[in-house]
């Protein structure tokens, strides 16, 4: 299975949480949306173990099954459609989650996340 990993589940994985480790191991490909990367690095800089956490992340990103996803014009169209649908239902979600969702839709990925905001995006299969 090809999965996009959200910030909370990467943190679970890095901490050795069994379910997260098992899901990451089972994935055929792992995708890290650019906003997840930004959220992680911001968190690292605000913490006391920035260098250690960055080294762990770098090892993860260098894995043969891992790829960072960046937006393009197509992503912007998916973002706009998801935004419109959420707005029409009165269920907006944070901007970073919207970008993560748009990338998951664009690339046909399952999303590995605990964040309940993604419950408002039923078009994205969850792990």
Say whether pTM exceeds 0.85: yes
Per-residue pLDDT 10s for the chain (127 aa) are 999 999 999 999 999 999 999 999 999 999 999 999 999 999 999 999 999 999 999 999 999 999 999 999 999 999 999 999 999 999 999 999 999 999 999 999 999 999 999 999 999 999 9
pLDDT of residue 68: 98
Q: Which domains does the chain have, with CATH numbers?
A: 2-120 (3.40.50.1010)
pLDDT of residue 57: 97
Instruction: Provide the b/e sequence for 13-41 (b: ≥16 CB within 10 Å).
Output: bbeeeeebeebbeebeebbbbbbbbebbe
Instruction: Provide the b/e sequence for 89-118 (b: ≥16 CB within 10 Å).
Output: eeeebeebbbbbbbbbbbbebbbbbebebb
């Amino acid at each position: 299975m090809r999965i996009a990993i959200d910030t909370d589940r990467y943190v679970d994985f890095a901490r050795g949480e069994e379910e997260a480790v098992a899901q990451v191991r089972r994935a055929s490909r792992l995708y890290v949306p650019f906003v997840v990367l930004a959220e992680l690095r911001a968190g690292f800089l605000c913490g006391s173990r920035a260098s250690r956490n960055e080294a762990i992340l770098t090892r993860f990103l260098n894995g043969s099954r891992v790829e960072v996803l960046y937006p393009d014009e197509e992503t912007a169209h998916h973002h706009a459609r998801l935004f419109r649908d959420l707005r029409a239902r009165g269920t907006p979600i944070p901007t970073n989650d919207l970008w993560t969702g748009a990338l998951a839709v664009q690339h046909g990925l399952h999303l590995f996340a605990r964040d309940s905001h993604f419950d408002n995006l039923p078009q994205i299969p969850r792990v």
